[in-house]
């Protein structure tokens, strides 16, 4: 692999106006990193990546590179782009394995992180490095959020998240697993106990529903629930998947690995919403696709779909008398997710929009002072790199808020 990565790195043209960097949601310094790597300073290259994106090693595995860095590489015009993801993964893996944090002087302020997905981990790392006493509250037994419970092992090894936990602990970050805020512990309890600011990064774990007959049948499941622990499901030999995004591709590939013999993905539009790479992998592993159909009802034997036609303006309408049963032992609904309201319902002053997502300003400040939010619970189901990019801004805002609060408290004491 090292020879391959070095060869790929040598293909980089070190453009004066790097389109690859512009195509990256977190503005990764790609040419500088590659140049530093080729100069023999792999630690310096790794430091560049980690300081810009604490989740760099994870993003190198799961980002939609074809539409981001690699998709914007100028070499695309004449052939294949530089395989930036492989270079990033190699450099990040090497750096992460050797990463040791220097001793950090505590600043005497405490911040709480609710949720340990990509946003929560990013905020925790950045604030801990600035001297804050950080505690992560995770509702499940292990950290990672959607990274652990929403992305299959074959795309993101869970051992990598275990290594992240070790780094968090090495930074002095405390972790409380199996602790759902809004149940035994409330936000008000946390402020009572001296937290200067709180961050909410609880993700979106409530499946969106179709609201059609048959959705409560025993052989019907939701994608986010299935991906959390596929081994507890008995899907049978044939599986219908309603929805065609990246989660649907993960479900299809997982079901095929778990013994399903026929997996069919159904899409309302005439194209697949998932990234081209994820669609290609699903197809080559055996998934079948049906487009321009909409589910009418779910029955014990499968799903009844109706064909759709376009009116020429992008609107889809069902075609009369085209209902057809697509048999299946199980049906999985994969049409995205929304947030749960556990924290919202137990906390005053937090506004949400019509989709149940937390309302924030550009810097992640919610409508209640001292509470910040980022990630999917604010943006809806987005990519990991988008969540991390936004979380960097929120970390700066939290830092500024807490330092301002510290000055105010000091001034009040002196009066």
pLDDT at 1 over 50: no
Confidence band for 57, pLDDT divided at 50, 70 and 90? very high
For residues 219 and 241, give the distance between their C-alpha atoms in angstroms, rounded to a whole number: 12
Q: How far apart are alpha carbons 116 and 137 in whole angstroms?
A: 7
Q: Give the CATH class of 2-98.
A: mainly alpha
Q: Which two tokens stand for residue 2?
A: 């090292």
- Intervals of CATH 3.50.50.60 along the chain: 110-204+346-414, 207-335
pLDDT tens track for 142-189: 999 999 999 999 999 999 999 999 999 999 999 999 999 998 899 999
Q: Find the helix or strand (DSSP H, E) in which 263 lies.
A: strand 262-267
User: In whole angstroms, what separates CA 258 from the centre of its chain?
Assistant: 24
3 pLDDT exceeds 70? no
More confident residue, 314 or 105: 105
- Name the least confident of 160-169, 236-245, 291-300, 310-319: 310-319
3-state secondary structure 228-251: HCHHHCCCCCEEEEECCCHHHHHH
- Please give the Cα distance from 333 to 297 (Å, whole number): 12
Burial class from Cβ neighbours inside 10 Å (0-12, 13-18, 19+) for residue 321 reads exposed
Residues of the chain with CATH 1.10.1060.10: 2-98
| Predicted TM-score (pTM) above 0.85 | yes
287 within 8 A of 265, measured Cβ to Cβ = yes
Q: How many CB atoms lie within 10 A of CB 168?
A: 21
- For the segment 356-379, what is each residue's pLDDT rounded down to a tens digit? 889 999 999 999 999 999 988 888
Average the pLDDT over 53-71 and give the result. Answer: 94
At residue 415, the pLDDT reads 67
**How high is the pLDDT of residue 229?**
94
The more confidently predicted of residues 407 and 306 is 306
Q: Cα(116)–Cα(175) distance, rounded to whole angstroms?
A: 9
Report the b/e string of 257-267 with b at 16+ CB within 10 A.
eeebebbbbbb
Look at residue 125 and tell me whether its pLDDT is greater than 90: yes
By C-alpha distance, which of 380, 379, 375, 404 is closest to 392? Answer: 375
| Percent above pLDDT 90 for the chain | 83
Q: Comparing C-alpha atoms, which of 90, 253, 257 is closest to residue 265? A: 253
Inter-residue contact 203 to 339 (CB < 8 Å): yes
3-state secondary structure 167-204: HHHHCCCEEECCCCECCCECHHHHHHCCEEEEEECCCC
Between residues 30 and 345, the one the model is more confident about? 30
Topology at the third CATH level for domain 207-335 = FAD/NAD(P)-binding domain (3.50.50)
Query: What is the pLDDT averaged over residues 56-80?
Result: 92
**Is the CATH code 3.50.50.60 the one for domain 110-204+346-414?**
yes
Which pair of structure tokens corresponds to residue 69?
Answer: 């860095």
Give the residue from 139, 87, 147 showing the smallest Cα distance to 113.
139
The mean pLDDT of 228-253, rounded to a whole number, is 97
What's the mean per-residue pLDDT of the chain?
Answer: 94
Residue with token string 């299946």: 328
pLDDT number for residue 347: 87
Counting beta carbons within 10 angstroms of the beta carbon of residue 245, is it exposed (0 to 12), middle (13 to 18) or buried (19 or more)?
Answer: buried
């Amino acid at each position: 692999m090292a020879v391959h990565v070095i060869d790929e790195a040598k293909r980089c043209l070190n453009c004066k106006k790097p389109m690859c960097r512009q195509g990256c949601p977190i503005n990764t310094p790609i040419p500088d990193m590659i140049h530093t790597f080729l100069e023999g300073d792999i630690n310096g290259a790794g430091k560049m990546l980690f300081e810009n994106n604490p989740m760099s090693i994870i993003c190198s595995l799961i980002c939609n590179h074809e539409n981001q860095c690699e998709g914007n590489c100028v070499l695309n015009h004449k052939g294949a782009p530089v395989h930036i993801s492989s270079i990033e993964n190699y450099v990040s893996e090497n750096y992460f394995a050797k990463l040791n944090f220097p001793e950090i002087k505590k600043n005497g302020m405490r911040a709480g992180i609710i949720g340990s997905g990509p946003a929560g981990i990013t905020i925790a790392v950045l604030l801990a490095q600035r001297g804050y006493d950080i505690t992560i509250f995770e509702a499940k037994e292990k950290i990672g959020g959607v990274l652990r419970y929403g992305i299959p092992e074959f795309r993101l090894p869970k051992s990598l998240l275990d290594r992240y936990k070790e780094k968090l602990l090495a930074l002095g970050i405390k972790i409380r697993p199996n602790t759902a805020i809004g149940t035994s512990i409330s936000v008000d309890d946390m402020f009572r106990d001296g937290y200067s600011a709180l961050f909410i990064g609880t993700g979106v774990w409530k499946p969106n529903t179709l609201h059609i007959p048959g959705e409560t049948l025993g052989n019907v499941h939701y994608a986010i629930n299935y991906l959390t622990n596929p081994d507890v499901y008995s899907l049978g030999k044939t599986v219908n998947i309603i929805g065609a995004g990246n989660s649907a591709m993960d479900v299809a590939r997982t079901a095929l690995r778990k013994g399903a013999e026929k997996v069919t993905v159904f899409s309302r539009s005439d194209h697949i919403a998932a990234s081209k790479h994820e669609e290609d992998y699903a197809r080559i592993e055996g998934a079948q696709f049906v487009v321009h159909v909409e589910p009418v009802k779910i029955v014990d034997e499968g799903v009844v779909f109706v064909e759709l036609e376009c009116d020429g303006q992008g609107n889809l309408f069902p075609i009369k008398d085209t209902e057809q049963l697509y048999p299946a032992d199980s049906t999985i609904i994969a049409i995205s997710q929304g947030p749960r309201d556990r924290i919202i319902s137990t906390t005053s002053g937090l506004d949400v929009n019509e989709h149940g997502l937390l309302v924030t300003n550009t810097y992640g400040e919610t409508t209640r002072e001292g509470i910040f939010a980022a990630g999917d619970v604010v943006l809806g189901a987005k990519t990991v790199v988008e969540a991390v990019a936004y979380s960097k801004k929120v970390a700066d805002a939290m830092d500024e808020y807490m330092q301002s609060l510290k000055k105010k408290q000091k001034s009040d004491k002196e009066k």
